[in-house]
Amino acid sequence: MAVTAFQDLPLADRDRAWDGDAAEKRVRRWAGAEDEPNARYRDAHVWYDADAKDNFTAYKLLIADVVDDRLVAVPRGVMAAAGVVQGARGGVDIPARDADRVRSHLAKYYRKMDDTAPWDD
């Protein structure tokens, strides 16, 4: 199990809509990961199961999309991931030992957005 390295991706416009399913398709195409995940695909997520890294289902908390052929963090995607981490929509199945690092990763994007992560309120 692993929290991905913080990529410090550029931010998309804050008002950009978030469609995780559509973003997933664009990220796969951009990363050249249409048949199996790779390192570029991993960069769009906050967490993955390192023991199953060859399976798309091992990747959780997608926060990025492809805009103008560049991988960017989408503020509403970051907020959606934070909500899931906080238990919204049933939460996410990640080991408890990774939860603080996941929150730290997401909090860095909140700071880039000049905002406060929900768990820091």
The tens digit of pLDDT for each residue in 3-14 reads 999 999 999 999
| 11 assigned to some structural domain | yes
| 121 assigned to some structural domain | no
| 70 assigned to some structural domain | yes
Q: Does pLDDT of 92 surpass 90?
A: no
Q: Residue 8 belongs to what domain range?
A: 2-114
The band of 88, judged by pLDDT with boundaries at 50, 70 and 90, is low
Q: Does pLDDT of 94 surpass 80?
A: yes
pLDDT for 89 equals: 60
Q: What percent of the chain has pLDDT over 90?
A: 85
Dump strand ranges (E) for the chain.
2-3, 45-48, 59-62, 64-67, 70-73
Domains contained in the chain, number: 1
| 119 assigned to some structural domain | no
| 120 assigned to some structural domain | no
| 43 assigned to some structural domain | yes
Collapse the DSSP code of 69 into the 3-class scheme (helix H, G, I; strand E, B; otherwise coil) and give the result: coil
| 82 assigned to some structural domain | yes
